[in-house]
Amino acid sequence: MVFGKKRKERTQLETNIRANNFNGLFNSLAQNMVLPFLGVFARDLGASSFQFGLLNALPSAVSTISFLPALPWIERQKEKVKFTAILTLIARMFYPLFALATLLDNGVYLLLAFYGLSALPWSWSSLSWKSLVGDAIPEDSRDHAFSQRNRLVAISSILITLLAGMVMDALKFPWSYRVVFLASFIFSLAEVSFLFRMKPLVHLSEARTTIPLRMIFKVSPEYRRFTIGNLIFQIGYQGLLPLFTIYTVQNLKATPGWVSLISIASAIGQIAFYPLWAKFSRRFGQRLLISLASFLMALSPIFYALSTNLLSLVIFNFFIGAFWAGYYLVSFNFLLTVSPSDSRERYIAIFNTLTNATGIFLPLLGVGLSSLIGIRLAFLVGAAFRAGSGLYLFLKLERK
């Protein structure tokens, strides 16, 4: 009986990992037909530098405002898989709506409105998904499982970004965006279908422990230190997001085809280095690796500051993808590690709320800073904060 139960759990774990992999595959196909091209789309609609800042700030603002008020409702959901899948589908339904901006003379504001609204269901589904995979894939399997998923995501992103870029270059505006954005929704249906195949391996009791929000940082010092390090990193991350887009599509005049090549170079770097990051994490521990990854992420804006043409940007993005692979893999797994299973939604909600709060004003401040000191010097300021995050995490996180 005991053996049979364990074998059943192993079989369900394998099913969860497989479903998570294919969910990531179709998630990548849907998102990479839309998100990499929003900057070019906004430029073609006539967006100003301020509106590029809003393109990054509005989703963060919507997520920040909605997270904590919605938290009790999210925690009460017993059907976590169904809840996550429905919210994901609603969020993806906005992708075809983005193309409606081409019907207006000043359609950039409609794009901003739809993009901001899409963050509401997406932020809730993201929170629920992180909690779901924490219950569906145990800690000792996550590095390997998410290395598999993330490599599959990177490979699929290469193929679909290249195809989408070719279609957009072949079709004239506005049909290029209308066709591609509508087609992305088809992949979203497959993305959601694989979510339904996942089942939690951890079943929490009805009388689970609920830690008051104000007490979380006191009872979880490692979580507190990781959150502070993340906030330092976000200053150098969120503040530069619109600058990367502005520099690529305005300063260097990138077309959808060039945007595809840049994304593909980054994806190849991720594919090559995901297994190495997972191996290093198992050997040296997540705490050391998250510090190293933050340091390496400081090189990304330095590379942009050194780029004078699109070809150099493509080459540099291979290395940026390699750094991002480590940071995303290790930071995501570490967040799940320091978030107790019986209060995981609560811990993740606070972490996401604080992260998204930095995304409300920092993109606009980054645009303002670049207008004062120049975009290249602004890149270097952002790099300093990323490196500072790595130093803080190295000094403060416990060695185990």
- pLDDT, tens digit (0-9, with 9 covering 90-100), for 280-318: 877 887 788 888 999 999 999 999 999 989 999 999 999
> What are the phi and psi torsion angles at 160 (to 5°)?
-75, -35
CB atoms within 10 A of CB 311: 12
pLDDT at 144 over 70: yes
Identify the residue with better confidence: 103 or 105.
103
pLDDT at 3 over 70: no
Rounded to the nearest 10°, the torsion over CA 112, 382, 327, 56 is 0
Identify the residue with better confidence: 79 or 311.
311
Quote the longest CA-to-CA distance of the chain. Answer: 70
Mean per-residue pLDDT for 78-107?
90
Mean per-residue pLDDT for 112-129?
90
Strands (E), the chain: none
- Give the pLDDT confidence score for residue 1 in this predicted structure: 40
Least confident of 1-15, 86-100, 212-226, 357-371: 1-15
pLDDT at 378 over 90: yes
Split at pLDDT 50, 70, 90, the class of 379 is very high
Least confident of 3-7, 15-19, 73-77: 3-7
Tokens of 298: 């400081």
Least confident of 39-43, 210-214, 271-275: 210-214
Half-sphere exposure of 245 (CA within 13 A, CB side): 27
Amino acid in the structure at residue 309:
N
Mean per-residue pLDDT for 8-22?
81
Least confident of 192-196, 251-255, 338-342: 338-342
Distance, CA of 109 to CA of 104 (rounded, Å): 9
Distance, CA of 150 to CA of 135 (rounded, Å): 19
pLDDT at 224 over 70: yes
pLDDT at 202 over 80: no
- Give the pLDDT confidence score for residue 98 in this predicted structure: 93
pLDDT digits (tens, 9 = 90+) for 156-182: 888 888 888 888 888 888 898 999 999
Instruction: Return the CATH superfamily for domain 2-203+213-396.
Output: MFS general substrate transporter like domains (1.20.1250.20)
Mean per-residue pLDDT for 220-233?
90
> What are the phi and psi torsion angles at 385 (to 5°)?
-70, -40
Judged by DSSP in three states, 369 sits in helix
DSSP 8-state class, residue 342: G
Distance, CA of 254 to CA of 304 (rounded, Å): 14
- Give the pLDDT confidence score for residue 392 in this predicted structure: 93
CB atoms within 10 A of CB 383: 21
Distance, CA of 350 to CA of 219 (rounded, Å): 14
Amino acid in the structure at residue 146:
F
pTM over 0.95, yes/no: no
pLDDT at 153 over 80: yes
pLDDT at 357 over 70: yes
Mean pLDDT of the chain: 85
User: Do the beta carbons of residue 398 and residue 223 sit within 8 Å?
Assistant: no
Helices and strands in the chain: count of H runs, count of E runs = 17, 0
pLDDT at 22 over 90: yes
Split at pLDDT 50, 70, 90, the class of 230 is very high
Split at pLDDT 50, 70, 90, the class of 192 is very high
